[in-house]
Amino acid sequence: MIERGAGEHLILVGLPGAGKSTVGRALAVQLGVPFLDFDTEIERREGAPVSRIFRERGEAAFRAMERGLTEELRRAPAHVLAPGGGWMTIPGNAELLRPPSHVVYLRLSPGAALRRLGAGVARRPLLSGPSPLVALERLYSERDPIYAGADVVLDVEHLDLQGVIRNLRQLASLRGPS
């Protein structure tokens, strides 16, 4: 594996359902680096699911938690990171880590994101209204131009997990232990 310095993370961004957590966990194993899923870590620290944090404390409180975690990661050993879908849209978050981190946008259509989320849609407070598809379409149109500021944009619409990982390792010129 290529040695990476402190704070040099690989950060996966994209809509809910893009596969950030699934891809990130598997990629981290292959690269032999730790994986951190922001939502899972925030839920662990707060002892509450993200949906309850949004409901009881509001989105701004959740965004402050994301920011705090981002600040901590500036000096952490290299990780694969999967922040929630809103992380890159908050000004200053990506700038805290990049450089030296690298950001990869896992791009897919709102319809594909909804299919991949399946029952997981219920755990996404921003998708809890009458039409998750309309909500995802709105998020896509607002966020795609922001996500596109990633270092790498990977179209994952027609790729399975192994295909995404293969592409990521090629694109980022990463080599796992063979």
Binding site for ligand S3P (CB under 6 A): 16, 20, 39, 50, 84-86, 124-126
State in angstroms the smallest separation of the CB of 111 from ligand S3P.
Answer: 16
Angle at 156 between CA 12 and CA 129, to 5 degrees: 75
Q: Which is nearer to ligand S3P, 4 or 105 (CB)?
A: 105
Q: Which is nearer to ligand S3P, 2 or 61 (CB)?
A: 61
Q: Which is nearer to ligand S3P, 16 or 110 (CB)?
A: 16
**Which pair of tokens denotes residue 142?**
């607002």
Q: Which is nearer to ligand S3P, 86 or 110 (CB)?
A: 86
Q: Which is nearer to ligand S3P, 4 or 104 (CB)?
A: 104
State in angstroms the smallest separation of the CB of 117 from ligand S3P.
Answer: 8
Task: Tell me if residue 115 falls in helix, strand or coil.
Answer: helix
Where are the extended beta strands (E) located within the chain?
10-13, 35-37, 80-82, 102-107, 152-155
CA distances from 115 to 24, 33, 124 (A): 19, 30, 14
The answer to whether the beta carbons of residues 24 and 161 sit under 8 Å apart is: no
Cis amide prior to 145 (ω within 30 degrees)? no
State in angstroms the smallest separation of the CB of 36 from ligand S3P.
Answer: 13
State in angstroms the smallest separation of the CB of 2 from ligand S3P.
Answer: 27
State in angstroms the smallest separation of the CB of 97 from ligand S3P.
Answer: 16
Task: Tell me if residue 155 falls in helix, strand or coil.
Answer: strand
